[in-house]
Amino acid sequence: MVAELKFRYIGSDFLINSPIAGIRIMAALPQHWSKDLRHSPGEVVLLVGTDADIDNIHARTIAALTRPENADWELVTCRDMPHSDSSKGLGS
């Protein structure tokens, strides 16, 4: 399955839209997941590929956001990508 994860910054500090935030979130996700970082204005967007179901992906992502370096981010979207959409990332 390929899932799209979108995150929004909710911290009080000024944040420059940087790939560093996405890399920190990616590092907190399970190592065996395939990950592809995308940018969208004001958000971090990740495509993840895994054998896990969407509920497990959601739970593991929420757990990753409990790490101090990710605490100022919230998950706003966790959705299963249709095959036609998912073919745009993750090494395709």
* H helical segments located in 1-86: 19-28, 54-64, 83-86
Q: Check residue 82 and give its pLDDT.
A: 81
Q: Check residue 13 and give its pLDDT.
A: 74
Q: Check residue 52 and give its pLDDT.
A: 95
Q: How many CB atoms lie within 10 A of CB 78?
A: 18
Least confident stretch, 1-5, 64-68, 83-87: 83-87
Residue-wise pLDDT for 2-50, tens only, equals 999 999 988 877 665 567 888 999 999 999 999 999 877 778 999 999 9
CATH number of 2-82: 3.30.70
